[in-house]
Amino acid sequence: MQLHQQFIRTAKTNKTRIAVYDQATGKDLTYNKMLIASIILARKFSAYREHYVGVMVPTSAGCMLTMLAILMNGKVPVMINYSTGARENALYAQDKCSFRTIITSKKLIEKLGIDPIRGMVFIEDIMKEVTIKDKLSAASISLLPTPILSKMFYSGSMEEDIVILFTSGSEKNPKTVQLSHKNINHQLININKILNLLPNEIFIANLPYFHVFGLTITFWLPIVFGFSIVAHANPLDYKAIVDSIKKYAVTIIVGTPTFYYGYLKKASKGDFSSLRVAISGADKLPDHLRDLYQKEHGVDLMEGYGTTETSPVISTNIGGSCRPGSVGKLLPNVKVRIVDRETGEDLPVGKEGKIIVKGDLVMTGYLGDLEETSLRVRNGWYDTGDMGVLDRDGYLWHRGRLRRFVKIGGEMVSLVKIENELEKLMPEDAICCVVDVPNPYKGADIIAAFTTKDINIKQLLKHLSKKLPSIAIPKEFFLIEDIPMMGSGKVNFREVEKICREWQLEKNHPARLK
């Protein structure tokens, strides 16, 4: 049973429960209202003949209903990142997936300050066309028995695509990831097993749905199992999100370290007392951030690991199965091997190598790119491009992206390891990012960027000299008060590297920290 059909079943058995507390509109929608609205939209969207339909709508009931209605028509939603370069990303998606129609919002387009592009259809205009007859008809259809109702909408194989997502593009151009119903369903079943979800869980949807972490954990997981969702359109509205956690007694939250820093700044004692599960992913969780949540709020901030191509969760710390610093134990029914990055041979326990993953969580492939797909997925094993270690107790330790290792003087240097050491000497709310820029003699120079100038460079260098080889110590230090971020909360390494490369050419640039 495909996931939109599982939603229909869930909606029929949880009619009066609130499905979404929509902060964008201020409306609370029950599962019954969600079902009726999805039927209305499904009938409206039947006019679109393309297999792929773009979706560029902030996290809201409107976005959820749009995705459900597209799937109910046997089409596939293509989620477009509107946080950075919205117009360019929309055109890129149309070109890569060969479609025209993009469901979006006038309010979003106005807020972004961009001109509409060919093929955009506004959700506000669609809703204006909804008549009393449409509503009554959909309400009548929603009363049909579940088996009959399900057959009225598209029913296909679990192997079929449920969504098209784009990789973050933080290191190179985004890739077009095909995820199937089977991929996401694997996550729902196995995440449910490790979280031991309770009947009245309340999730906060604080992440954009063009990011797989938000899509799987804060949309499909609650909407399929019948939990409530508190939806926020703007992930950077930290105060509003903290207020919602307290107001709605949210029990489950996921996010990135950047967002958790933001919540921490706006929270008062007791605001997080309802949280049962708090998981951080997408970037390395700094030790001091974990400590601050425990010390100030009594919240155990757990770290997990995943990729867009794995739907996303590969491993996570949770409850009694937690080892701080690691990214936890593997999700049930997930296989991981650690292999030599050059030979591909399996490495023994405790030896660092490349992480490759197998299971029903692994994507169908990269749409329209057979070559890249064959390079990354072989015999069902997905090459994450990440480096890591499996210890004797089954905990996975993430060492960073292979691309975040740089060869200097013939030695492989981990930029993530340098960042970890720098974080130990930074103010609590500061962020650092380490990048490499080309050097014709050594291969690369390492540069560190900080969001604060309150750093003692001499003390920092003294500390690094005791922890790192000399080739790994940054040669330049820059102040970038607003480090470029992706919409998902991850650092945009390409942009940081570009800034540092330009600044390095100016020997006396004012941003250089001394």
Please write the tens of the pLDDT for every residue from 238-289: 999 999 999 999 999 999 988 999 999 999 999 999 999 999 998 888 888 9
HSE value, Cβ hemisphere, 13 Å, CA-based, for 184: 30
| Beta strands across the sheet bearing 52-56 | 120-122, 102-104, 52-56, 76-79, 161-166, 176-180, 365-366
Rounded mean pLDDT, 126-135: 93
Report the amino acid identity of residue 211.
H
Rounded mean pLDDT, 367-383: 93
Q: What end-to-end distance do the CA atoms of the chain give, in Å?
A: 61
> What b-and-e string marks burial along 449-467, b requiring 16 or more CB atoms within 10 Å of the CB?
bbbeeebeeeebeeebeee
Tell me: pLDDT of 454 over 90.
Answer: no
Superfamily of domain covering 3-390: ANL, N-terminal domain (3.40.50.12780)
Tell me: pLDDT of 484 over 90.
Answer: no
Q: Which DSSP category does 239 fall into?
A: H
Tell me: pLDDT of 441 over 70.
Answer: no
Query: What residue segments make up the domains of the chain, in order of their start?
Result: 3-390, 409-504
Listed residue (303, 259, 294) closest to 275, CA to CA: 294
487 pLDDT tier (thresholds 50, 70, 90)? low
Two structure tokens written together for 449? 């960027």
Q: What is the pLDDT of residues 404-430, one digit of tens each?
A: 677 665 566 778 778 878 888 777 777
Q: What is the pLDDT of residues 150-182, one digit of tens each?
A: 889 999 999 999 999 998 765 567 899 999 999
Whether domain 409-504 has CATH 1.20.1420.20? no
d(CA 189, CA 191): 6
Cα 77–chain centre separation: 17
* 366 in Cβ contact with 314 (< 8 Å): no
Least confident piece of the model among 54-68, 77-91, 377-391, 457-471:
457-471
* 203 in Cβ contact with 64 (< 8 Å): no
Tell me: pLDDT of 442 over 70.
Answer: no
409-504: same fold as 3-390? Answer: no
d(CA 501, CA 89): 25
Higher pLDDT, 432 or 290: 290
pLDDT of 164 reads: 97
Q: What is the pLDDT of residues 18-64, one digit of tens each?
A: 999 999 999 999 999 999 999 999 999 999 999 999 999 999 999 99
Report the amino acid identity of residue 40.
I
Two structure tokens written together for 505? 């050419």
The average confidence (pLDDT) of the chain is 90
